A and B are shown apart, each in its own frame.
Chain A
Amino acid sequence: MAEEKKRRAVATQTAAGIPKFVRGNLAATLKAKEEGKKVAKAFIHDGQDEIMRAMDIVPAWGESFSGICAAKRDAEKYLQKAESDNFSRSLCTYATCHIGFEMIREELGGVMPEGAPWGGMGRPDMILGNGQLLCDPRFKWPQALQHYLRDVPVFVTNMYYPPWDPNIDHHEQEGFYVRYCTEELHETVRFCERVTGKKMDWDRLAAVVELSDRTWDLFVDTYDLRKAIPTPMDTGDAMNTMVPITFNIGTQEAYDFYVELNNELKQKIAQGIGVANPEKYRIIWAAGLPSWFALNDFQYFNSKGAVFPVEVTYRDHEKIEKLDLPKTDDPLEHIAWRWVRYWTHWYDAARKIPGSTPKVARIIEYIGDYKCDGVVFHSAFSCRSWHAGIIHQAEVLRKVYGDIPILIMEGDIVDISSYNEADTHNRIDAFIETLDAYKNKKRN
């Protein structure tokens, strides 16, 4: 029997509505067939969301599924199933958890495995991947999954952005990167048209993209409200409130969610209601996916008077105006510009801080804007995409920013075997003491 932890408390009412969103996304994949829609196993932040929404393709989010299994502490059976066919435990556990689930379902002749979380996820009609600049499983997971779902077509696109190099002006490269991304997105559309038998409605796509842009802006405006002291919402909630923009971008529901969250945060600020009472320490969650089975650790921080008013994780959006996107009539080119500029717009900030990198420049900006006293990174052992290079970020931050308490926590995203709650809390306690000493030193 899986050990299900008591659900963590959330500081905002709006965040409490997130499980409904997540269940809705899973249910949509199960209802798709009777609604005559195709299901695509897809990845977040691949630039393909709006294409799917405009073509009535229902996304089946593998990362979300595995995250739910982890949060319910019920991933082990799927991890073991994948391991039984030689998928190593050191591989991305988002992928191995989901592949293990699909392996079991195929062995059952397509019947949903008993106890699948929240009714499980629908079998895909297609698999969309992306050879992104930041995650090998985004093209290896689809390929590995097709070994078990042999009738399901796979399409992998490539969405790159110019890599950071202080000696190369990225502006000179943006043009051909955008051209490449745009062509790859057009290839994605052609693939989806083949599988669905339907043509893309380009006007509809343009409207979806326009809605996404507005959601990006609203999301950033809403999260900026967390600069308030005390902060009305911290990262513990943000790991939930990221769901609409991450999994439902391009939908009215996502936009409406942030309207509601925005209103609630403003109300809390007006009433002086914060996450921690009193709020003693403000920390940035500077990198890393969380351990989905241990989200209560955020509350442990809160219980010590520590809050996270800002995080880098799942904040993959910026005010559209700030990105200075060239005008285009092609919504796919717009997506491509938005994608490339989202990454490169930090490069100019990095150039202004000698010895810095874009990731560190961003952390420094947030430390200032959100008045943070300390920095926490989380390193998940099965994920190199987001977690290789964290030591370097911490080191560069120390060098170019100066003295600030830094904690690098260790765990995993899905595999609970890597986690020890007592040890984790001991490390948090020690970090809080460091924060306290740091604040006292600053005061004196």
Chain B
Amino acid sequence: MTGLQNSNGLETADRYYAQYGSRAKELKNEGRKVIGYMSALTPVEILTAAGVVPLRLKGFMDEAITKGDAYMETIVCPFVRSVFDAAIKGRFSFMDGMVLPHQCDSMDRTSDVWSYNLGLPYWHFLNVPHVTDDPSIEFMKEILRVFIRTLERFTNAKITDEAIGQAIDDHNENRRLMRELYDLRKSNPPLISGVEMMKVLVAAMSLPVSESSALIKNVTEEVKKRKAPADGDRKRIMIIGDQIDSAAIAEAIESAGAWLVVDDLSIGGKIYWPEVDKTADPLQGIAERYLRKLKIATTFVGEGNTYEENLEARFGHLRERITGFKVDGAILFIYKYCDPYGFEVPAMKSYIESAGIPVLYLEDEYSTSTLARVKTRIEAFLEMIA
């Protein structure tokens, strides 16, 4: 075990952020199997129940793609390309396997590229549906069963319903702890900065759930002891997007004179609010969370009787965050070549603006090389809403 109980939480988060995957690598050296996974759509409860070390994969915004483009087209999502580039360069060479969920075309259509070129001992493409009706829930349970069977074969150990139930409890607890930490951002000024929070979110997704929870607890206790900083008159910003996992973006916002107080990102707000319900068949609860509760652009939501009802079902949670965290402005940060999020922009932008909140839409690469331009846009936005 790590000495997390006695450590400085923020310092530990900073270390795990800077040395991403280092804890998984340590655990690998201790004989554990490490399974990397992409996206908020991978049911991490199953990996936890299998006794492997789940590691959510990330890219490295400050590193140029130097090898990946020889294997993967530049029309693919720049985030996916960055992760692949890191993987092919050996940044995750300690991984025993990988799970790629069917989130979007950039993942689905490159599945062969990953599996063939990484040549990992374990590989699984999880074919998550895009719709949420009852047949889709049943189908999701079927593909979860296939996923479980492949993991059982790989680990040579049975994954029991009891183990899945325990994993559900542990991950739900983890989510509650993270939401408590988010609550400390509701004050004005927030007790934890956006840059610090980004590092905690990234560190948390690199750890087994028990260690992740311990880290979050430590950070929360540490932050609670802080006195609120004096400069409370900054604008309070929310960031929306998929996997934005670099503190550089938060830094760009906060160094421009704002507080980043909340997010709707797939490593943050999107995954820490919805929990898995306890159900007789644990796969039912998992299927429902990942299909019906996770609000990500690759899941079609449109069962309402009117367009307005559909908008509420898709984006209503944003309004709750805006109110709860007293948001003054929202930044919609979408990666280039992203059809699922890109097609949402007009609807989401007008929905948020209808709540009286100005929106800055940024389309960009997954790279710090373009951050100067991004920062200029953010500064102009903050001036506009001042």
Contact indicator A357/B116 (Cβ below 8 Å): yes
Check: B383 CB closer than 8 A to any chain A CB: no
Contact indicator B105/A134 (Cβ below 8 Å): yes
Task: Determine how close the nearest CB of chain A comes to the CB of B377; give it in whole angstroms.
Answer: 14
Out of A88, A133, A146, A167, name the residue touching B363 (CB < 8 Å).
A88
Contact indicator A392/B347 (Cβ below 8 Å): no
Q: Name B residues whose Cβ lies closer than 8 Å to a Cβ of A.
A: 70-73, 75-77, 102, 104-106, 108-113, 115-117, 123-125, 127, 129-131, 133, 135-136, 138-139, 142, 146, 150, 297-298, 300, 302, 306-308, 310, 334, 336-340, 342-347, 349-350, 361, 363
Contact indicator A160/B129 (Cβ below 8 Å): yes
Residues of B near A47 (CB, < 8 A) are: none
Residues of B near A147 (CB, < 8 A) are: 307, 346-347, 350
Residues of A near B75 (CB, < 8 A) are: 90, 379, 381-384, 387-388
Between A88, A151, A168, A383, the greatest number of chain B beta carbons within 10 A of the residue's beta carbon is seen for A88
Knowing A88-B363, A131-B131, A384-B109 are in contact, say whether A165-B73 is a contact too (CB < 8 A): no
Binary per-residue interface labels of chain A (150-184) against chain B in the complex, 1 for a CB within 8 Å, 0 otherwise: 11001111101011110110000100110010011
Task: Determine how close the nearest CB of chain A comes to the CB of B214; give it in whole angstroms.
Answer: 36
A96 to B310, CA, bound (A): 21
Knowing A156-B130, A176-B142, A384-B76 are in contact, say whether A183-B343 is a contact too (CB < 8 A): no
Out of B136, B340, B347, B361, name the residue touching A136 (CB < 8 Å).
B340
A160 to B146, CA, bound (A): 15
Binds B, one of A137-145, A278-286, A421-429, A433-441: A137-145
Check: A260 CB closer than 8 A to any chain B CB: no
Knowing A133-B102, A163-B127 are in contact, say whether A91-B302 is a contact too (CB < 8 A): no
Knowing A168-B146, A384-B76 are in contact, say whether A156-B112 is a contact too (CB < 8 A): no
Q: Pull 25 A–B residue pairs with CB atoms less than 8 Å apart, ordered by A.
A: A85-B346, A86-B346, A86-B349, A87-B343, A88-B334, A88-B363, A90-B342, A131-B129, A133-B108, A136-B104, A136-B339, A137-B339, A140-B344, A142-B302, A156-B130, A158-B139, A168-B146, A176-B139, A357-B112, A357-B116, A382-B75, A388-B109, A391-B113, A392-B110, A392-B117
Binary per-residue interface labels of chain A (120-139) against chain B in the complex, 1 for a CB within 8 Å, 0 otherwise: 00000000010101111101
Task: Determine how close the nearest CB of chain B comes to the CB of A90; give it in whole angstroms.
Answer: 5
Task: Determine how close the nearest CB of chain A comes to the CB of B149; give it in whole angstroms.
Answer: 9
Check: A187 CB closer than 8 A to any chain B CB: yes
Out of A129, A156, A168, A389, name the residue touching B110 (CB < 8 Å).
A389
Binary per-residue interface labels of chain A (366-405) against chain B in the complex, 1 for a CB within 8 Å, 0 otherwise: 0000000000000101111101111110011000000000
Residues of A near B334 (CB, < 8 A) are: 88
Task: Determine how close the nearest CB of chain B comes to the CB of A263; give it in whole angstroms.
Answer: 38
Residues of A near B109 (CB, < 8 A) are: 134, 384-385, 388-389
20 new A-B contacts at CB < 8 Å, known A86-B361, A129-B300, A389-B113: A88-B345, A91-B343, A133-B127, A134-B105, A134-B109, A144-B343, A144-B346, A147-B307, A151-B307, A156-B300, A158-B129, A163-B111, A165-B124, A379-B73, A383-B75, A384-B75, A384-B337, A388-B76, A389-B109, A392-B71
Contact indicator B105/A385 (Cβ below 8 Å): yes
Out of A88, A157, A382, A390, name the residue touching B131 (CB < 8 Å).
A157
A379 to B125, CA, bound (A): 24
Check: A95 CB closer than 8 A to any chain B CB: yes
Check: A208 CB closer than 8 A to any chain B CB: no
Q: In the A-B complex, list the 8 residue pairs whose CB atoms are closest, starting with the nearest.
A: A131-B130, A140-B343, A183-B135, A388-B109, A384-B105, A150-B307, A144-B343, A180-B139
Contact indicator A139/B112 (Cβ below 8 Å): no
A155 to B305, CA, bound (A): 11
A391 to B113, CA, bound (A): 9
Task: Determine how close the nearest CB of chain A comes to the CB of B132; give it in whole angstroms.
Answer: 9
A359 to B53, CA, bound (A): 33
Knowing A143-B300, A156-B300, A381-B75 are in contact, say whether A90-B336 is a contact too (CB < 8 A): yes
Contact indicator A388/B106 (Cβ below 8 Å): yes
Task: Determine how close the nearest CB of chain A comes to the CB of B370; give it in whole angstroms.
Answer: 14
Contact indicator A392/B116 (Cβ below 8 Å): yes
Check: A254 CB closer than 8 A to any chain B CB: no
Residues of B near A382 (CB, < 8 A) are: 75
Between B72, B300, B308, the greatest number of chain A beta carbons within 10 A of the residue's beta carbon is seen for B300
Residues of B near A157 (CB, < 8 A) are: 131
Residues of A near B111 (CB, < 8 A) are: 163-164
Residue of A nearest to B336 (CB): A90
Out of A134, A143, A162, A391, name the residue touching B343 (CB < 8 Å).
A143
Task: Determine how close the nearest CB of chain A comes to the CB of B153; give it in whole angstroms.
Answer: 9
Task: Determine how close the nearest CB of chain B comes to the CB of A131; give it in whole angstroms.
Answer: 3
A134 to B110, CA, bound (A): 11
Contact indicator A158/B110 (Cβ below 8 Å): no
Residue of B nearest to A382 (CB): B75
Knowing A134-B108, A139-B130 are in contact, say whether A165-B125 is a contact too (CB < 8 A): yes
